Structure 1
Amino acid sequence: MLRRDPLSAFNFHVEIENLLIAGFAECSGLQAEMEPQSYLEGGVNSFEHNFWGRTKFPRLVLKRGLTQIDGLWDWYWNVMQGKIKRKNGTIYLCGNHRLPVMAWHFSQALPVKWTGPDLKADSATLAFESIELVHQGLRWEEMR
């Protein structure tokens, strides 16, 4: 019998337009939420009907240690200058052997916020940057 242990959340990487961007320290926003449309039927006071509605996807937030490789900043800077280029990407969750076992594909992403590091002279922590992406949806895939 095949045993399937829960996966570790720290073992992931991100690709944007088929390029490995970097090892990120944090990724949040892997969510999808459907807004149900309710309908109140006249004379029926014990419940309301709920129908499928619009699906919302929150922003993806990617945080990583700041390096001199500035691909994320360049993408954000170009969008600020009006050179809009939407990109597709994938977040891979890896198993114990560092091979992808799950993937979340996002489409038509656009950077809408870049945050630089908090700089403190009395701290020895790493400098982190983050980028927030709006996108047009997630598709989940189990890797075999």
Structure 2
Amino acid sequence: MTERSTDPYVGFRFRISLGHIEIGGAAECTGLESEVKVFEYPEGGVNTHLLKFPERCSLKNITIKRGLTQSYDLYDWYLDVASGSFDHDNQRPAGSGTSGLGNENDQSVDKKISISLIDSSGETLKEWVLRRAFPVKWVGPEFKATDNVVAFESIELAHEGLERLD
């Protein structure tokens, strides 16, 4: 069966780039979410409704879950941040261009943290870049002698915004 341009994309083909960390095959990626908060104002004499105004945008942390491997890269990255010795390799400097991503010649673009939806041939369909992302939580595997499942680790990333790349 061939894909049509009107067919919705499937959510199980995705790629995650964490800059200098090779993520490999991730099992899940959640939290790709942004919401505008609403300020409600009761105007005097208007009893039928509240006036509503947009406020700041609220961003959800991104959680990435992958099968546990020999690599300690995600855990080490989290420990760097937790210990304060974080060298900001994966953070774009604030004010580097209007989007925070820098320009095409900027070395930090190569270290971007991104989530890409891909097609069956591996081509990128949609891509979102996390602005100034860093890990805030690491969760190790759960061990149960009665289960025969893959051991997973997950990392939660805080960020300052989502950029859409086209």
Same fold at TM > 0.5: yes
Distance 2:133 2:144 in 1: 32
3-state secondary structure, aligned to 2:26? coil
Q: 1:98 aligns with which of 122, 128, 133?
A: 122
Q: 1:6 aligns with which of 8, 20, 33?
A: 8
**1:25 aligns to 2:27 (yes or no):** yes
Please give the root-mean-square deviation of Cα atoms over the aligned residues, in Å: 1.6
Partner of 2:55: 53
Letter in 1 for 2:77: W
Aligned residues between the structures: 141
Correspondence list, 1:48-87, <5 A: 48-84=50-86, 85=88, 87=91
Distance 2:22 2:6 in 1: 27
| Larger strand share, 1 or 2 | 1
Question: C-alpha deviations, 1:17-51, integer Å up to 9, x for none?
Answer: 26542211000000001101111110011111111
CA contact (8 A) 1:114 1:132 kept: yes
- Give, in angstroms, the shift of residue 79 of structure 1: 1.0
Post-superposition, which runs of at least 4 consecutive aligned residues in structure 1 deviate over 3 A?
none
Letter in 2 for 1:70: Y
Partner of 1:133: 157
Partner of 1:119: 143
Taking structure 1 as the reference length, what is the TM-score of the superposition?
0.90
CA contact (8 A) 1:12 1:91 kept: yes
Please list every run of 5 or more consecutive structure 1 residues that lacks an aligned counterpart in the other structure: none
Taking structure 2 as the reference length, what is the TM-score of the superposition?
0.79
Q: Cα–Cα, structure 1 residues 64 and 141, in superposed 2: closer, same or farther, change >3 Å? A: same
Identity %: 38
Please list every run of 5 or more consecutive structure 2 residues that lacks an aligned counterpart in the other structure: 92-111
CA contact (8 A) 2:21 2:73 kept: no
3-state secondary structure, aligned to 2:122? coil
